[in-house]
Structure 1
Amino acid sequence: MPSTDSSEAPNEASTDASTAPWDVHRLPRADGKTFLVTGGNAGIGYFVAEQLAATGATVVLGSRDADKADAAAASIRSRVPDARVRQIRLDLADLASLKASAEALRTDRLDAVVHNAGVKFDQPPRRETGDGHEAMFGINHLGHFALTHWLAPLLAAAPEGRVVTTGSFAATSERLDLDDLESSQDYRPDRTYGRSKLAQMLFGFELDRRLRAAGNTVRSVVTHPGGALDSLTPPRPPLHAPTTGERLRGLPAGILVQGKEAAAWSAVRAVLDPSVSGGQLWAPRIFGLRGTPRLRPVRGHLADAEVAARLWSASRDLTGVEPEFGLG
């Protein structure tokens, strides 16, 4: 989401002049807090979890694969002394299972959830979840929409609960087709993926509008990681072990994009920074593709409240639930 408007600069750090600028390498402590990261066993989600674990918080990895989650937890513990990390089974493709996933957190409050998990298919055919939803829209958006419903009491019980929804640069060039949300009439994998991420972002902004209207203290924040490549990502064997050749071939791309460790910074700031407000969009500083997190403008189709409200209604009908937070 390219923007070089200098008027955004005052928003980059806390509005409190006495607060030091945000440093991605010197995160504030979060002892006693509990954070859930969906898809925290791999990719960007892993690095979100690793960085949050270094703050002293309890970090819960939501994953379909227990073995992969165990390996991710072991990797975090090897790098973060005394890390408090555990896992729950989380299958966003199975809507009926999400209530049990929320109950498995075994906590009376949740300080933040990072909606990070997602799938992307590059080639046809069109795939469906077990519930009959197009897989990318069903997992990336509908699964997180329904999960938020079940997490709502725990988030509301926290002093300042946060819902951090991970969008994508791919969403910025797409538009939703409200008459074909699940791409049953015209399936193109790249477009369907971009629309699923746009749906996530619109959900995050619409949730913020509803929370504000109700005077709720939970904050809904949207982020996107920019461009993230495996070849620019620090090794975390056995989870991620690029060869020397792979890393060298990826170096030229570092001019424009970054690795997944850096791509996690926007979500981590959205979770931890006390100056972050609901309804904001955080993304990498340099053309929205790489660099430290920066507050970005929410404009154009991302700010379309009418489309977001219609998407919300459709998502409620498709899942049978909605995140209420006492909003009714």
Structure 2
Amino acid sequence: MSSVSRRRTWNVHRLPPAEGRIFLITGGNAGIGYFAAEQLAATGAVVVLGSRDAAKADAAMASIRSHVAGANVRHLQLDLADLSSLKTAVDSLDLDHLDAVVYNAGVALDDPPRRETEDGHELMFGTNHLGHFALTQWPAPLLSAAPAGRIVTVGSFAARSERLDLGDLQSARDYRPKRTYGRSKLAQMCFGFELDRRLRGVGSTVLSVVAHPGGALDSLTPSRPPVHVTTPGERLRGLPTGLLVQGKDAGAWPAVRAVLDPEVRGGQLWGPRVFGLRGTPRCETVPSHMTDPAVAARLWAASGELADTDPHLGFR
């Protein structure tokens, strides 16, 4: 049990107020991103949903407003698969500060063929990792202007069993969708830990924290029509698996705590309490393969070259 958990109990249903704070969630229109947005909106914060689909974002905002009285939500047109569009997107926020960014958006493909972004990158690696890596440089000044800015990277439990192939980061030689997805999430998590190390190195006040949802299934997720609908039959069939995993509403809890809890520290990993698969959020031991300095340095250099970014990602 972490020292944070011993000091006090975190109540996922009674979150601390966050009036006056501004949070951006990539992929905030669906899944775990939607529920993170709904939960954070209930704190009184301004929540910005980063989404490339305006219609889906509108539906998500309407749903949040119907569940959270007075919710202050807005949409940011954001396409992580189009790296050249990211600066313009962030500039359109027209903010003087940003308290947290949650890197949640992701693409998961189950079957071949291998697909690419408009920039020519493998779709899952290009969106899940490179898109967030490249995005970081643009809100960096806004995060630095906040009293305690945070970048929360949402990884995956699947990343624990994967290892990066630094010679084939984009699965050009050997494409297997599930493995490519797991490695893209591992790249995200390695980036999140390395980012915090570099932030500490330049004396930044911004923290980088990594979270993962454990096992989060649609069948165990509360309905939020038209964003998500769980039929009674689906919920009934999903009940046995509820002993091991949970819905996407609960899957959002670790990321929400990573955003809000003042006792969270940079470089930590937050996930569900029960076997890392379900339950309330706790601080976990970080697997060593996610913080290998040699791997992190090579991933950082390769990502910077592929995304054509400032080597410091806007933090000096």
* SS at structure 1 position matched to 2:136: helix
> Partner of 2:82 in structure 1?
94
> For 2:202 and 2:243, how far apart are their aligned partners in 1?
44
> For 2:146 and 2:51, how far apart are their aligned partners in 1?
23
**Which of 247, 259, 277 is 1:289 aligned to?**
277
**Which of 218, 221, 234 is 2:206 aligned to?**
218
> Partner of 1:242 in structure 2?
230
> Partner of 2:108 in structure 1?
120
Contact 1:145 1:322 in 2 (8 A): no
> For 1:222 and 1:255, how far apart are their aligned partners in 2?
25
Counterpart residue identity of residue 107, structure 1: L
1:9 CA drift (Å): 3.8
> Partner of 1:78 in structure 2?
66
> Partner of 1:3 in structure 2?
none
What RMSD, in angstroms, separates the aligned Cα atoms of the two structures? 1.1
> For 1:323 and 1:243, how far apart are their aligned partners in 2?
48
> For 1:290 and 1:96, how far apart are their aligned partners in 2?
38
CA deviation map 1:285-311 (0-9, x unaligned): 001000000100113201212101110
* SS at structure 2 position matched to 1:179: coil
**Which of 138, 142, 157 is 1:169 aligned to?**
157
Contact 1:153 1:325 in 2 (8 A): no
* SS at structure 1 position matched to 2:182: helix
User: Does residue 1:11 correspond to 2:18, yes or no?
Assistant: no
Structure 1-normalised TM-score?
A: 0.94
* SS at structure 2 position matched to 1:141: helix
Counterpart residue identity of residue 34, structure 1: I
**Which of 134, 148, 163 is 2:136 aligned to?**
148
* SS at structure 2 position matched to 1:31: coil
> Partner of 1:42 in structure 2?
30
1:234 CA drift (Å): 0.6
> Partner of 1:231 in structure 2?
219
1:323–1:113 distance in 2 versus 1, CA, 3 Å: farther
> For 2:310 and 2:235, how far apart are their aligned partners in 1?
43
Structure 2-normalised TM-score?
A: 0.98
1:106 CA drift (Å): 1.4
Unaligned runs of 5+ in 2: none
User: Does residue 1:324 correspond to 2:307, yes or no?
Assistant: no
1:237–1:121 distance in 2 versus 1, CA, 3 Å: same
1:326 CA drift (Å): 5.7
CA deviation map 1:100-149 (0-9, x unaligned): 11112111100000000000000000000000000000000000001111
User: Does residue 1:191 correspond to 2:184, yes or no?
Assistant: no
* SS at structure 1 position matched to 2:208: strand
> For 1:292 and 1:48, how far apart are their aligned partners in 2?
14
Contact 1:148 1:323 in 2 (8 A): no
Counting only pairs closer than 5 Å after superposition, residues 21-32 of structure 1 correspond to structure 2 as: 21-32=9-20
Contact 1:219 1:279 in 2 (8 A): yes
1:80–1:311 distance in 2 versus 1, CA, 3 Å: same
Contact 1:146 1:323 in 2 (8 A): no
> For 2:312 and 2:305, how far apart are their aligned partners in 1?
14
